[in-house]
Structure 1
Amino acid sequence: MLIIPLLNACSSWEELSLVHSPDIEQGNIITPEMVALLQPGMTQRQVRFALGSPMLIDVFHGTRWDYLLSIKRRNQAVEIKRFSVFFDHDLLSHYRGDIKAAENVETKQEKRELVASVPDYDGDFGILERLWYSLGLGEPE
């Protein structure tokens, strides 16, 4: 008898549901850091490396690539984010969409180079070479 007033207190049956409903993301996830990597004059290959393969390449507008992301969360409307890049003679001319470029992102030119020192070969044999020669399968040079 106490259950009926509790059921009336819920605004919808979905709130009462005990079934797990996961968030569903479909499409391309484009982050502000990825957008910050884009520079006019980049080749299509460089753009594909920075953003990934586009969701849509329109046959009627081959100079535009569209990246779409739809997010469906429980009890919410579907959220759609759009991002498009435009090419002129296979070079990036401009982009626009719902995702803005992040500020203060290091570019490759600003990063410090890491130099590793590799010692020269001193003529000593490695483990496999020593084993090979100890079994008499070859003559050391």
Structure 2
Amino acid sequence: MKKILIIIFSLLPMLTGCSSWEEFSLVHSPDIEQGNIITPEMVALLEPGMSKRQVRYALGTPMLIDVFHQQRWDYLFTVKRRNEPMEIKHYSLYFEGDRLSRFGGDIEPASDSDSNLEKKELLVNVPDYDGDLGILERLWHSLGFGKDE
């Protein structure tokens, strides 16, 4: 009986289409993302001459500011997905004084044709509240403040 179970469990990954036991694992392993997520749209916002404050607004706080090279900001992002090698993205910005002088890394800026995002305005009609008074409003009115209905 033990031999039959061993044979069944050794053939189980092949029968299910998995190439190894790691893929067949029933244990959930979540994707692990660490660092700053930098998108091509965010990189497209960068322009030479921007202040450090503007860059921080566009990209967020950098993952690494080297003590010895404070005019260089490094944005790092790693993703480890199940059964895939770790993906590492790196983007560096260089400043002269308080102004951005140059930048570059693994992420290419989005062009206008890549980002077909149209700015849409969302309009919402909010009806006036015609319901009963809340607890604090009733207390306020009972003390003689506010409108009498």
Q: TM-score, normalised by structure 2?
A: 0.67
> Contact between 2:13 and 2:21, CA under 8 Å: does it hold in 1?
no
Aligned to 2:11: 6
Which residue type is aligned with residue 6 of structure 1?
L
Q: Separation in 2 of the partners of 1:14 and 1:57? A: 38
Q: Separation in 1 of the partners of 2:20 and 2:10? A: 13
Q: Gaps (5+ residues) in structure 1?
A: 112-127
Which residue type is aligned with residue 99 of structure 2?
L
* 1:77-96 pair list within 5 angstroms: 77-96=85-104
* 1:33-52 pair list within 5 angstroms: 33-52=41-60
Check if 1:68 corresponds to 2:76: yes
SS at match of 2:68: coil
Which residue type is aligned with residue 30 of structure 2?
P
SS at match of 1:82: strand
Which residue type is aligned with residue 59 of structure 1?
V
Please identify runs of 4+ aligned residues in structure 1 that moved more than 4 A.
none
Task: Give the root-mean-square deviation of aligned CA atoms.
Answer: 2.6
Identity %: 63
CA gap 1:136/1:97 in 2 versus in 1, 3 angstroms:
closer
Q: CA deviation at 1:81?
A: 0.2
Q: Separation in 2 of the partners of 1:71 and 1:7? A: 30
Q: CA deviation at 1:8?
A: 7.2
How many residues end up aligned between the 2 structures? 114
Q: TM-score, normalised by structure 1?
A: 0.71
Query: 1:27-77 deviations in whole A, cap 9, x for unaligned?
Result: 000011111111110000000000000000011111100000000011111
SS at match of 1:101: coil
> Contact between 2:91 and 2:107, CA under 8 Å: does it hold in 1?
yes
Aligned to 2:67: 59
Q: Gaps (5+ residues) in structure 2?
A: 120-136
Q: Separation in 2 of the partners of 1:136 and 1:54? A: 52
